[in-house]
Amino acid sequence: MSPHRDRLRGLEQRVGVLLEALPYIREFAGDTIVIKYGGAAMVAPELKASFARDVALLKLVGMNPVVVHGGGPDISRYSERLGLEVRFVEGLRVTDAATMELAKMVLVGKVNKEIVAQLNVAGVRAVGLAGEDGGLIRATHAEHAADLGFVGRVESVDPHVLERLGDFVPVVASVGVDDEGQSYNINADTVAGSLAGALGARKVIFLTDVEGIRRDAGDPRSIVSECRLVELEDMVSSGAVSGGMLPKLAAVRDALAHGVGAAHVVDGRVAHSALMEVFTEDGVGTKITA
């Protein structure tokens, strides 16, 4: 076969892939897609770069991605360097005033700006925001038996500042603020769910360090590809779903209750998993609908 033919065949395959994306591009054009970014995807350099390119592609083909992130291991690392006690109660970081100040420094001044810079390099303009900015996230003390300090929950979301930003991609740090200006550390899954609801998002995607939700916790082959929320609740009752998945489940419930079309739990350890979930029929994780 001639090299020209060979080259054409290669091009044709690539074009074929583009065209397979057509129905997804059409379906989600103009839709808001909230992505909770975290875990391994926020640590490994090549995963960080591939995530930025994924978000850029979503934006450029006409969707409106919104990135929500927490602070990851950086907060603990800096806490230790500064001699602050690192303590968790039921997976929640006990957050005294000094830790809160530090958490904000890490979340907003380090992690958030790294994501913004990476998105800029990938070719879309991003703007980083915390709950203070434009009064985006009003928070209050999360209710808990133990005294967790400034661990908060979302009281309300004012999406006005996000609407103003138009063509910029918003990157939101999981920090909220109360009427007196006091900051709170909030679970990033919760923030993602609340934002998705307030923005009338089409999808909310959670990048995790698991392959998806398992029907049988012990069986890696039991990944659920798609299910209704009610089935998931059953899996919680039966104990199949537990641990770190529980706050995610609350966020899923919250988003779906506010009209978000679907929630996805995908494997952030796989490069481009968010893109795969948007652009393919059965995706790479678990899709949950109301």
What does the chain come to in residues?
290
CB of 116 to its own copies, least distance (A): 4
Nearer to its own copies, 32 or 118 (CB): 118
Running DSSP on this structure, what letter comes out for residue 222? Answer: G
In this chain, which of 86, 89, 97, 121 binds its own copies, going by CB under 8 A? 121
Q: Which of 152, 279, 287, 288 binds its own copies (CB under 8 A)?
A: 279
- In the complex with its own copies, the residue whose CB is nearer, 117 or 257, is 117
- The label of the residue with tokens 């900051």 reads 183
First to last CA, the chain: 52
Query: CA 82, CA 271: separation in Å to the nearest integer?
Result: 34
Whole-number Cα distances in Å, 216 to 95, 219, 223, 239? 34, 5, 8, 9
Of 31, 101, 155, 226, which lies in the binding site for its own copies, with binding defined by CB under 8 A? Answer: 101
Where b means 16+ CB within 10 Å and e means fewer, 194-210 reads: bbbbbbebbbbbbbbeb
| 177 counts as binding its own copies under rule CB under 8 A | yes
β-pair partners for 204? 34, 263
* 132 near its own copies, rule: CB under 8 A: yes
Residue 118, interface with its own copies (CB under 8 A)?
yes
Question: What's the closest the beta carbon of residue 88 comes to its own copies, in angstroms?
Answer: 21
Q: Is 128 in the site for its own copies (CB under 8 A)?
A: yes
Q: Which is nearer to its own copies, 4 or 230 (CB)?
A: 4
Any contact of residue 183 with its own copies (CB under 8 A)? yes
Stretches 34-42, 100-108, 202-210, 255-263: which one binds its own copies (CB under 8 A)?
A: 100-108
Residue type (1 letter), 249: L
Candidates 85-93, 108-116, 143-151, 228-236; binding stretch for its own copies (CB under 8 A)? 108-116
Q: Which of 92, 135, 142, 261 binds its own copies (CB under 8 A)?
A: 135
DSSP assignment of 268-279: TTSTTHHHHHHH
Closest approach, Cβ 206 to its own copies, in A, equals 18
C-alpha distances (whole Å) from 25 to each of 1, 162, 226, 284 are: 35, 22, 21, 18
Residues of span 30-69 touching its own copies by CB under 8 A: 53-54, 56-57, 60-62
Among 35, 106, 204, 256, binds its own copies (CB under 8 A): 106
With the CA atoms of 232, 236, 242 and 248 taken in that order, what torsion angle do they form, in degrees rounded to the nearest 10?
A: 40
Binding residue for its own copies, selected from 45, 143, 145, 180, defined by CB under 8 A = 180
Q: Is the dihedral of CA 67, 68, 74, 78 positive or negative?
A: positive
**Closest distance to its own copies from the beta carbon of 110 (Å):** 5
